[in-house]
Structure 1
């Protein structure tokens, strides 16, 4: 039976975190004032509850289910050692991660970066317990997503570096699903860097990897087609992408289904079938629920690229690319800007 010789605010905070309760809910659960719980959170080991409250905490721990007791045992420092993580800090850290996810979906890179770096800059993974390393890893993945969207894919301050460190952390924590998700992100980085053969092989392996969810497996299949299309194998790429499109339909994923049609359109453009390309890009532009700056730029870039393929619609294509350029510049989407510039140079050539 797990027991506590003397409760301090530190152990009380760990119990609240183990029970997965808010401070208010924990206060009501124990029958104490909210300000008492807040004091425990604030002072940690520097405050000791009264004897009657010690007994209340003993009872709460005893009555907790075995899973919550196991979480408590993992959260509290052993043998009176100084804790490597504060449950109150972890709750705030988790909230900042959720806020960063929202910021990234809106391409608010500056605020997302500040939310993530306030934790990454102040902590070292080896100084943290398992929960802290998990949050550190999640923060690194989001930082990698941010760097990738900004086009920083190689080098010491890049998506590859952030993903690589997070991959090691989640490997040490033995969380296979997170490890596989990062491997999928690293394959995307390889594709963006122009390593198409490598990325295609990685996608093919991950498309049947049981560590991934069915949705992520379908994404891997779609991205196999993307890499093939960039290599010029557009007809086969379209077949692969069409299979992924059916997967997204079966899974009920409208946004992924829309993205798949966008990529199908580009594959058909590469194969010289402008009619089919316009058909699929039309579907992509009228479906999906996400309306982020990134997705608008991607759709406009693909649409403009297709329009440029026909001399009769060339001016319309240039106008659409101008719109995409303005949005990409506004939100600092460097990789998208390079893609647009490459399309323009290709037309000039």
Structure 2
């Protein structure tokens, strides 16, 4: 079994990785502050835990199972290929890069979770920490993959913030990520970026172009079955926006059945929301209310963005009937408040557009 004569930040990090824990969970596991763990991760062999903390780490290692010990020894062996003095001085040495890549991966996982909660400031800080640290030309294949993934996530961030036009929008970030994934020869990732670029085209008002891209991707074998079903659903979304509600409804209904077969409850619920809007556009408020009711009852996410989208759709439908107009306005007001709270500018603009359209009608 592995044993450590004297713990430094390097060995502590190796133990965290061997236990397959995040920085936060490792801190809880040891009963030590997160800032202390972060200091170890930053300084590695250049810092030593206090004497009482050395004993805590000894205990944590002793209680670990055999598989964890094997991983711990493997991580230390990899780090020891580079002399400690060089490891501390040079962030670009191979052993040091291996450690940095683990932190980078952890941060990207944290950023993805934060993005689902629309914590945009935190996501931006995590992504920029790494994109500002490396140049793609100086990275090996694994580092280039992480850089591409970070750039794609930056596109997701800008898209969700509503930035779809200009040099600091989602489109150039996605284009950069697509180029990197193409360089790495990862067709599935390239196709996923193509799907994101189609979403950006739809958000920027290029609806017919977006519909054509979605149609192509709906039968693209590079994508998973779920992503192809989502592309089919979004074909309907784009077509509904240009007034082709009947065909859009048929396409969306087919996608809904696919989500049911795939056991994807979140996508299935969102598909009902889209179906409701297509029926509203066609003037069929009975079916619109039916489908939006299903979507509201079966929503499986607490994401602020999805709550705003769902309530905006519901308010839009209610606003279409003079008898429920006041209720629709009240729901849109609540949706706008939530969108403003989380910085969802695209959703705010959509709500304002719905209000303006109804005022013209009235």
1:267 CA drift (Å): 0.1
Q: TM-score of the superposition, structure 1-length normalised?
A: 0.80
Of 307, 324, 337, the residue aligned with 2:318 is 307
Single out whichever of 118-127 and 216-225 deviates more from structure 2: 118-127
The answer as to 2:246 corresponding to 1:206 is no
1:155 CA drift (Å): 1.1
Please provide the CA RMSD for this pair: 2.7
The answer as to 2:69 corresponding to 1:28 is yes
SS at match of 1:86: helix
The answer as to 2:133 corresponding to 1:92 is no
SS at match of 1:240: helix
Alignment CA distance shift 1:30-1:167 (3 Å): closer
Alignment CA distance shift 1:37-1:85 (3 Å): closer
The answer as to 2:358 corresponding to 1:318 is no
1:30 CA drift (Å): 8.1
Q: TM-score of the superposition, structure 2-length normalised?
A: 0.77
Hey, what does 2:302 align to over in structure 1?
291
Hey, what does 2:194 align to over in structure 1?
183
**CA offsets 1:28-55 (integer angstroms, 9 cap, x no match):** 3289699x669749965737xxxxxxxx
Hey, what does 1:334 align to over in structure 2?
345
SS at match of 1:187: helix
Pairing of 1:62-81 with structure 2 (within 5 A): none
Pairing of 1:263-274 with structure 2 (within 5 A): 263-274=274-285
**1:85–1:128 contact (8 Å) kept in structure 2:** no
**CA offsets 1:133-181 (integer angstroms, 9 cap, x no match):** 1001111111111100111012111100110000000000000000000
Alignment CA distance shift 1:137-1:317 (3 Å): same
Q: Distance in 1 between matches of 2:72 and 2:283?
A: 72
The answer as to 2:57 corresponding to 1:46 is no
Alignment CA distance shift 1:268-1:32 (3 Å): closer
Alignment CA distance shift 1:135-1:39 (3 Å): closer
Hey, what does 1:133 align to over in structure 2?
144
Hey, what does 1:223 align to over in structure 2?
234
The answer as to 2:240 corresponding to 1:240 is no
Unmatched 5+ stretches in structure 1:
1-11, 48-80
Unmatched 5+ stretches in structure 2:
1-9, 21-60
**2:78–2:95 contact (8 Å) kept in structure 1:** no
1:252 CA drift (Å): 0.3
**2:195–2:214 contact (8 Å) kept in structure 1:** yes
Q: Distance in 1 between matches of 2:132 and 2:72?
A: 38
Alignment CA distance shift 1:39-1:164 (3 Å): closer
Of 242, 258, 265, the residue aligned with 1:254 is 265
Counting matched residue pairs gives 299
**1:84–1:127 contact (8 Å) kept in structure 2:** no
The answer as to 2:344 corresponding to 1:348 is no
1:288 CA drift (Å): 2.9
**CA offsets 1:231-283 (integer angstroms, 9 cap, x no match):** 00001100100000000000000000000000000000000000000000000
Alignment CA distance shift 1:26-1:195 (3 Å): same
Hey, what does 1:72 align to over in structure 2?
none
Q: Distance in 2 between matches of 1:110 and 1:243?
A: 38
**1:225–1:240 contact (8 Å) kept in structure 2:** yes
1:319 CA drift (Å): 0.1
1:330 CA drift (Å): 0.2
Hey, what does 1:159 align to over in structure 2?
170
Hey, what does 2:205 align to over in structure 1?
194
Q: Distance in 1 between matches of 2:297 and 2:84?
A: 54
Q: Distance in 1 between matches of 2:287 and 2:139?
A: 54
